[in-house]
Amino acid sequence: MTDDQLLRYSRHILLDAIGIEGQERILATHALIIGAGGLGSPVALYLASAGIGKITLVDDDTVDFTNLQRQILHVQSRVGMAKAESGKQALAAINPTVDVVPVQKRLAGAELDALVATADIVLDCTDNFSTRHAINRACVHHRKPLVSGAAIRFDGQISVYDQRHDDAPCYHCLFPEAEDIEEVRCAVMGVLAPLTGIIGSMQATEALKLAAGIGQSLSGRLLLLDALDMEWRSVKFRKDPDCAVCGPNGDARAGEYLRRADADRESATAACRLA
C-alpha cells in the first residue's frame, strides 16, 4: 500500500476489524454493479470512495431528467449521456485510482455469465424480477456472493446470497421464479428519493464486509424497511433443498440457465432504468 493510500484510507485502517490487511483486500476486489440508477448510485459512490480496486458498472440506459431526483451518480449536465459513462465520470472525480469499466449494453445468457465469472462480488441494483433471476443463476453457477437490494414507494429490502457456502440460500429460494409476482416500477408507483440511498448504502456496506472478510453478512436474512414509519423488520430464511437453481438438481450448475436466459434475452436486461 502506498503512502497516499495509507492516508486516504486511514479511517478504515484505524478500525481493528479492517486494518491494513482488510483494506488491502478491499483494494484487490473487483465489484460488478449491475444497474447505475437509484440503488447503483450510492453503491458505486461508496465502493469507489472506500477503495474497491475495480468496478464494472453495467447499464444500457441514458440519464433522464426524471432520474435526477434520486440517482445521485448523475448530474443535470449529463442528461442524455449513457449512465455507465456518466457513472465512470462521477467515480473518477471521487477516486481516480479506482479502475472503472463502463458497460453500456443489455446483458443476458453467456455474456452475463462471463462477466459474473470475472467479479469477486456482484451487486444487483436492478428493478425487475427476470433480471434478478438471471443474475442469481449466474452467481450460483460461479459461486459468487450476491448483494441484492430493492426500493419502491416507501419500502425497501436487502439481503445477501453467498453461494460460497453450501448451506446458503439463493435468491430463488426466497423468491421462486415460477411464482406470479407483480412487477412494480418507479415510473408508475414512485419512490422516495433517500430510500434508494439507504438501501444502496447498506448494499455497499455488505459488499465491503465481504471484500474485507469481516463481520456477519445478511446471508439467510432479509431486512425490510418501511420508511414511512421508519420501521425495520428482519426475516430469516433457509436454503430450499429442492431449489430449482441452487439445489442438488439445480439447473444453474448444469448450465440450463444459459439457454433459458438466451431465449429470454429481450426481457432479461441487466440494467436498472428506474430504481
CB–CB of 102/82 below 8 Å?
A: yes
Identify the sign of the CA torsion 253, 108, 238, 174: negative
Chain Cα centroid distance, residue 69: 20
From residue 194, give the alpha-carbon distance in Å to each of 38, 87, 217: 9, 18, 23
3, amino acid identity: D
Query: What are the start-end ranges of the E strands in 169-230?
Result: 221-226
C-alpha cell read off for 174: 426466497
Phi, psi dihedral angles at 167 (to 5 degrees): -95, 5
CA distance 165 to 171: 14
Q: Of the listed 125, 186, 246, 272, which one is catalytic?
A: 186
Tell me if residue 186 is catalytic.
yes
219: exposed, middle or buried (Cβ count in 10 Å: 0-12, 13-18, 19+) = buried
Q: How far apart are CA 31 and CA 207, in angstroms?
A: 8
Reference 35, options 61, 1, 15; nearest CA is 61
3-state secondary structure of 216: coil
Which residues are designated catalytic? 186
